[in-house]
Structure 1
Amino acid sequence: MTVVVPVFNGGDVVERCLLSVVNHSRDARIVALDDASTDPATRAMLDRLAGEGVIELLRNPENLGYTRTVNRAIQISGRDDLVLLNSDTVVGPLWLQRLRWTAYSLNGVSAVSGFSNSAGALSLPERSRPNDWPEHVPWTDIARFMGQRADVFSLEAPTPHGFCMFLRREALDALGDFDEFSFPRGYGEENDWGMRAVEAGFVNLVTPRVFVRHEQGASFGADRARLIDVARGVLDELHPSFQALASEWVQSDEFQHIRSQSVVLRDEVAGARVVPRSLYVVHSSAGGTPETNNDLMQALEGVQDAFVLLVHEEVVAFYAVESGRYRALSDWRPERRFLLTDAWRSDYAAVVAQFLVDESIELVHVRHLVRQPLTTIPEVCRLLGIPMILSTHDFYYICPTIHLLDNHGTYCGGVCTPGEGVCDLPMHFLKGAPTLKHQWIEEWKRRSSSVLESAAHVIATTRSAASIYAANYPRHADRLITVEHGRDWGAGWSRLRAEGARRPGPLRVACPAMWSYPKGTEYLREIVELTGGRVEFHVLGNNSHFLADAAVDHGRYERSELRDVLAEIDPDFIGLFSVWPETYSHTLSEAWRLGVPVVATDLGAVADRITEFGGGRLFPVDDPGAAAEFLLAMADAQREGEGVSIEVPRHAVRSIVAMAEDYSQLYDSTRERIPKPVVGYLVASEPLPSRLQRRLHSPQLTGVHFRRVSGWDFADGLDKTDYRSIVVPPAALTTEILSAVLDRAAERGIPVILDAGAETRWAESTASVSLARRCVVVSSGSEQASTLATAGIDAVVIGDDIDPREWARFPSTSRRERAGKRRGARVVLLGSSVDPTEDQYLARVFDGLRSGDGERIILDRMVQDDAPETALWSRRRRWSAAILSAASTPVDFFAATAAGLPVVQLGGADTALATPPLGLSTDIDDARRLIVSLIDDSSRRHDMVTTARAALRDHSAAFGAASRSWGELVLSPRSAGS
């Protein structure tokens, strides 16, 4: 597919357009076709982007005009479908995919256009005029929101619109070029081409799911009005029916529905949480794969909407995941169950494709493709243009044996060993495979290679697993990325022997596993025989009864029960005796967490991790005698009172946060092509402080990837992310980890920024001041900075103004008018504190206070230290007005007025920031009359709220400026104390 952006001057406007196209147009050829621009800055910018390989740049030798330039675009696009995009537009996620999906949703489609804030008849909500959409919301979020929420897929239109047109090649072949003689400068040329398409039997479509920002007329400047008038006259002459068709179309019910819905969506997006959507493909079996995937989805809940495709050979089920719970959406049962030999299944492809399109999925993460046709989902993703990430939790994509064990149970590495034979296949779904060894394995690898080819990235969890895939598929080695699993630990995972001595008895080895030959049943049997009863072995896990004749059998267990079972055994070692190279081992992680050293075979992930961190001993996979010899030596030492002296690593298992942030960053870079700088943030507790949330989610900083830092992972060197800086709030000063984080950050040359805001109380602590002096400190005002200066801390002052998104979602008028009769009118007191004098004064004001119609007026208190607006929203329907204490902040004022509540200020302080609220008289009778007047006079309340909201808009610019200043600091911080 080729995207051509005709350019004539435009400077920054053109650059914004091109960067948005590059960022949101996977695998497309992107051409800037410069029509001999005369502006040196525009030409230099185009040269720079082309030199960076971001775009392809072609220049007309002389100015040809828009229509002739478009015709050149048709020629240079070859046999591709072509998208023509004005250079004064900004596009969003999935824009190009949705245009293509729409173009191929019907036979005979000639062209598809999106809608816009300003694109003639395709303007929303009001047609034929520029429309204001929330300025404080990034266009990426607006476009994403419209794509996710618009309930019309497409509708037929008389013609496409030239600001954004997808042109199918078959229509271009049939209709030819645009009419450059009748429309040499642009305007009207697309209407003429679209009408010719309809006359030739084609269909033009528009889709509200593609929403494009357009600075209409910037491409043509002052000539726009004249060009429109000339084009309209020519068009009427060529196609007399066009105006009537266009008028009838804009009056249609379907078009009017789109307009009506866009009014609602415009209001909703102002305060909505807009995040991309990901689909996880998981098989229906139990084990570490689905558990790890659940951990990941829960950790990423704030930055994506997660969906799950759960696959069994007889049923496919789709779920939405909300707060860790699966909500069933739909299921589908194939007429013919899935088989291992299936590759492409058109029935399955149709179901998956429909779901991806309907739910606006931006990325598919395949955790496993077992139990389904191997190539179907990867091919659907490729055809739809949706990026796919493929995880490799085993070696299924090398051989269906999964474990790479040949017919003798010997590890083969994916290369068939000499001789004939039938290799063991570990699950029922795989049993129907043709003979693999030296035969069908080649077809399997050919199919698997296409799967890897379809993936944007292939994930391995350890270096050894990645190396095995690279050896089998060297052509795809550059797609391989290592992302290690993460685990979090609660109180139930304390060290086994932290508080007590070892129980008497022989050396004990506990062996947890889902037991089968690959997990080492025969290897363990040999060790048991060679140790001759001098070592006590315990087996637990699924199918542990296989070894009941050789060891003490404890049966299966749940993950949460493992510590209790092992505490009962009190093992000296955990035995992990797999005879295949496992791609990870949660059991190894659990052993280390419980403080138990490991004895294991010397291959795969277990060997990788023990080699790197210690915590165990490795023995040849073909020599169980070496393991038996070691255990006997340990048994002798134990009897002589020497004990086991293998140190178990404390922080070798990284957190779920670190794993999730790796994936979040990977998803980000996969969805968008322009790399983002990374800034870390370390917080002491959940939820994030409201001020830091505003910083991290500022619309001015959408070009930065903010990554949560797991303190111990960073301090222990497990987190190797290339951070520009790391931000911490004041609460982090009291954590034991911050000093270690500062040490590691200094070693790596990463600045740490203490975003203190208005807080200065921490500066009373010598320990906190000592840590703060190692940071770049940011305060929100000069008064706070002066206070910190007395403690020897030089602070950077960056204002902390009002974020308009916090209030945009709430009603513009008081709820009181709609509330009906209640038991008393209620007023809420907001503020971080109320002094005793104010408290007594308010008690007297509200004692027995009643409205004009005799309704009692009650004072509620909403006093808290951080983000008082948060609690307000959950109860905002109850109140008719708000009172602010003398210690209230602008946040309190706007929180109240944005919820439709008029405000009364104690003492008349300038909380409203140049929009003073009504002052509360010190005279009790005057105060009562004032409050009663607010309860009784709805127009007065409405006027107050309207005035306050105007002030909120004024502060939006200040918030944006503060956000940009903060962003510049965290991306290029100065040295601490400079």
Structure 2
Amino acid sequence: MRPQPLSWAGEPSRVPPDVPAGAVDVIIPVAGAAEAFSRCLASVLAGTDLEHHRLVLVLDGPQPEATEALVSRIEGERTDGLLVLRAPERRGFVASVNQGMAASQRDVILLNSDTQVTAGWVRKLQEAAYSASEIATVTPFSNSATICSLPRFVETNALPAGQTVESFGRLVEARSRRAYPRLPTGVGVCLYVKRKALDQLGLFDTKSFGEGYGEESEFCMRALKAGYAHVLDDATFIFHEGQRSFGSSRGRRVDAAHRAMRRLHPEYLATVAAFLREDPIRPLRQRVLAELRPARREQPPGRPERVLHLVHGWPPWSPAGTEMYAAWLARRQAVHREVAVYARIADPQRAKGDAVELLDAGVRVRLLVNNFTQRDPLSRNALRDAALCADFARLLDAFRPHLLHVHHLAGHAASLVGAAAERGIPIVFQLQDWWLACARANLLDAGRRLCSGPSPGKCAACLPLTGLPPAPLLNRLLYVLRRRAMRRALDAADAFVLGSEALHQSARRLGILQPADRVYVIPYGVEVAPRTRERPAREPGAPLRFGFIGALLPHKGAHVAAAAFAGIDPARARLILWGDPAIDPAYTREVLAAGGAAVELRGRFAEGQAEAVLGGLDALLVPSPGLESFGLVAREALHQGLPVLASHRGALAELFAEGEAGALFDPDDPAALTSWIERLIADPGQLDRWSAQAPPVKGFAVHAEEIETVYERVLARRAPTPRLDQTLTETGPLRRRRGA
């Protein structure tokens, strides 16, 4: 007979009465992960009254040098409020927890070493614990605590965009009703346990759950059967970095825990499933989420009510042009409709396919981990991935988008587009670069030369997709399969959006676009504040400041800029590089060596600082030898009146009329750029003349409305009465295009 769920209400008559609440022992088992433990310890020391309560550190076997140094320092600073327990050998998580609880006669809080607590956390947890005598355990809200997760239920969440651990903790407390809803189990990330429950029920089951994971659920099931209850403290939030304390062994531990729970408590899965169906804490989550979502404005009829964006990254983890563009668009759209995003994230501490949820200005962003460590060349090269497709299909079925907007498939799988097409979802496919035809995305080959176009043999030699034997044959076959997979994805699209005429003509020539495809060429807008002041005057005699902003990779051309500065006196002009050197350290070293004393590396800057960075330059360099499909940073510069010296390749040639706001040059000839730098050193007034002639730049609000027009037309074509499809130009009027 199928096991029936247990009641999680609790039975006060069956449990001992409470004694007055007293001091609490905070128990932190420690097993590696020194950096996360350091952050955890700092938050506990800042947010806990250790004059009253006590911190118990349980070191499970020998620790990294950094951990030992940190513990020794704390021991030297505190004479009371601290107990350090050491095990000479590694015994496992549960044994460490039990050692800490056995050394205590108080209520305890079990706290993972990869968490960060917030102000007043112990007091609030204790208030929840003593709100009813039958309560055995209390769990706070956390970003990653299964049934107590916030913002999204039963998911691993990042902090909502714009929030810190402390600010989000304050928000949770401010929106709390102190409802303390009942749970079927506590969650061991942060678990308050009353001493009377420990004395009656005993410690955790070391034999069945020795390494950790599931031990608190087994204890909580014993407690339910004894009449106890478990509650959520909806006034407290703690941050959980997630999976750092267990690392790569998490999957194995989860499977072992589920087997043990089925054996020890057959009712467990049925009980949790009943709770998941009921989801009684949803109203409490919604109270918090209401403060994080923008006020919704009514949108005109004929537009989609739910839009899903598919893109290969998301800021701040991936701050490149396509990712920034998709973020700007999705955030604007969230004011009018439900918007979700399916994106990739790299995180070596997580396994492939793990998901992290982010709430960003009302946009639900689902980030799937892909570190490109898989051996399967079909998955590694975004051709086909069964697990990824299954996750995306679940999102499609749950979110039910009225339109899918594809920005980029790198790091995903081309077959995702087919999953949407199978469900009859209209698809807008935005070409952001040349990746669909060129795995390098910009038609710049391994020798840093422009490629005339793809072919299996040429592509396999330029960028092998696998090292599996027989590699020469297999790579040619993979490129054939890649071309077919991308063609299937493209054929599913209802319409295409491109940001430049250069990309449009190139995509036609390469066969990315077919003659009958419906194409909208819409130069992008830029998400910038109104220009309210003129550029500051340069300091007389100071060196001119030329800036490079972008990925430190060959196709962006930092080496071209550096070579142009090789003979430049740094007292007369300097090149400032903004980019992440960790992407390709060898290339970064090459760039710095080529430029000499006139070149300075500043690294990355945070989202939102672009205006200040551009304001500190006299000219922007965009020396890309690879093809550029639009040039967002260049347009941000022009908006500020900052002159631009750019490669004449791809869409960069469409930035401005000749001599209007800068100059174009051949990136294969660094001397041409050097010549311009020397001319500007000799005549800096040219920069002022260019600045005064900078053309107006389209704002993103205008561009977002143009995208809405595309959406309307795509949906109208799906309606019973088709309508004529047309193409938008930069200024807004419509013109017919052949094949539309």
- TM value normalised by structure 1: 0.37
- TM value normalised by structure 2: 0.48
Which is higher, the Rg of structure 1 or of structure 2? 1
Higher RCO (CA < 8 A, seq sep 6+)? 2
